[in-house]
Amino acid sequence: MGTTGSSLAPRLGSPALDPLASFCDLASALAVPDTDLPSAARGARVPLSTVAREWLRIGLVGVGGPPAHIALLRELCVDRHPWLTERQFEDGIAATNLLPGPASTQLAIFCAWRVAGLPGALLGGLAFIVPGLVLIVALAVLFLAGSPPEWVLGAGAGAGAAVPAVAVAAGAALAPGSWRRALGDGGRWRWAAYVAAGAVAAATVGAWLVVVLLVCGTVELAWRTGLGRGSAALHAWPVAAVPALAALAATGGLGALAWTALKVGALSYGGGFVIVPLMQADAVDVYGWMTGAEFANAVALGQVTPGPVLQTVAVVGFAAAGIGGAALAAVCAFAPSFLLVAVGAERFERIAHGRRVRAFLDGAGPAAVGAILGSALPLALTLSQRWQLPILAAAAVALLALRRGVVVTLLTAGAVGAALALAGVDVPS
């Protein structure tokens, strides 16, 4: 995730402040009314009916992940209609990339807030999310049914075989930008350490990955602000919050599902695909809601359907508790994005230039990149049929060497799997 930043407020330079204080400063900054908008941006609001129509259109056609979503939103709000200035749109991109959670979803909510206030943010966000969510739940019913047709199982196994390559491609796409930001003062050594920590955690102790992300972010924040070079106190207050939130999981059942969904919606850094290692251990190993192959199918469905990849959480919710579980998971995962925009949209430009927020994410972000790369190993270990290995190899070549699109690659792999199933090969059940 992330773009650049400078200073949040004059008092943030004090080395005496710990990470909790810096986030309190951020909350205070967010509460300041936005009085410096151009008059055009403070003018008449766009009708809610227009917001519903246009954001629903983007939600229906937005296949291809954040790049496609950003392009569609810019074309609508900056190019076709003068609703936002270029700077406002760019500040929105920068701020949402600095916030945890699905950046393109938050950008869609932010743009709707800009043009129609809080009612517009709620309506536009729902219009952007719901089409893909309905489609992915319908596909989950088909793929996770008690006795799906053989060709459906084959399609899922084929697409699932390509998912480890998708993980590597997603991490590889994020790595160069993250590396360029790691400048000076041993920054690239720390970057490598954070990437390694995220990769190892995702490959081995996925259930604790969120702790690793928070620790890496806190360490980098401490280093940048002089809080703990050589100090035993790293002020790792966010880590202490995780066990308290995870108490939800101790109850099992819907509490565990709510925690898993909230975790991926509120504590994910580094782009949409980081939800994969955050969810996999809980969904497959800890709670056994689905098999490894079914989880790979869920990831593939999240990639080929329109809307944010975070909607994959609804498939996990369906596997855990049916339609009600899918709805609960979706609400818990997406609610933080609506809350962050509702609270902070008036001062997104301050978030975009927040030095301490940037420092935290310069630690958590590389760890997330490593986690995405590391998730390829447990995903690959879910492949149970020999014929899936050539599909994985072909997908790796298509994505990494030939630079083919993720959606086309997954659909092709699924078609091959369906054809092989119809030809009589064994498919995972």
State residue 9 phi and psi, 5-degree precision: -160, 155
**DSSP code at position 289:** S
Q: Say yes or no to pLDDT of 255 above 50.
A: yes
Residue pLDDT, tens place only, 125-155: 999 999 999 999 999 998 887 778 889 889 9
- 412 in a structural domain: yes
Residue 411: CB atoms within 10 Å: 18
Residue with tokens 């390694």, as numbered in its chain = 196
**DSSP code at position 33:** -
Encoded tokens for 324:
């009600």
Residue with the bigger pLDDT between 256 and 41: it is: 256
- 92 in a structural domain: no
Q: Is the pTM of this model over 0.85?
A: no
Q: pLDDT band at 179, cuts 50/70/90?
A: confident
Residue 204: CB atoms within 10 Å: 13
Mean pLDDT of the chain, nearest integer? 80
Give the C-alpha separation, 209 to 70, whole Å. 28
Contact status, residue 370 vs residue 202, Cβ threshold 8 Å: yes
- 110 in a structural domain: no
Residue 208: CB atoms within 10 Å: 13
Burial class (CB in 10 A: 0-12, 13-18, 19+), 130: middle
Encoded tokens for 208:
């604790």
Contact status, residue 261 vs residue 329, Cβ threshold 8 Å: yes
- 193 in a structural domain: yes
- 261 in a structural domain: yes
Give the C-alpha separation, 158 to 427, whole Å. 9
Q: pLDDT band at 40, cuts 50/70/90?
A: very low
Encoded tokens for 103:
């950046």
How many domains does the chain divide into?
Answer: 1
Residue with tokens 């793929």, as numbered in its chain = 143
Residue 162: CB atoms within 10 Å: 33
- 375 in a structural domain: yes
Give the distance from CA 237 to its chain's centroid: 23
- 361 in a structural domain: yes
**DSSP code at position 240:** H
197 lies in which domain range?
A: 177-422
- 233 in a structural domain: yes
Most confident region among 274-288, 296-310, 313-327 by mean pLDDT? 313-327
Long-range contacts of 88-94 (CB under 8 A, 24+ apart): 88/37, 88/41, 88/114, 91/348, 91/349, 91/352, 92/348, 93/3, 94/3, 94/4, 94/5, 94/348, 94/351, 94/352
Residue with the bigger pLDDT between 184 and 414: it is: 414
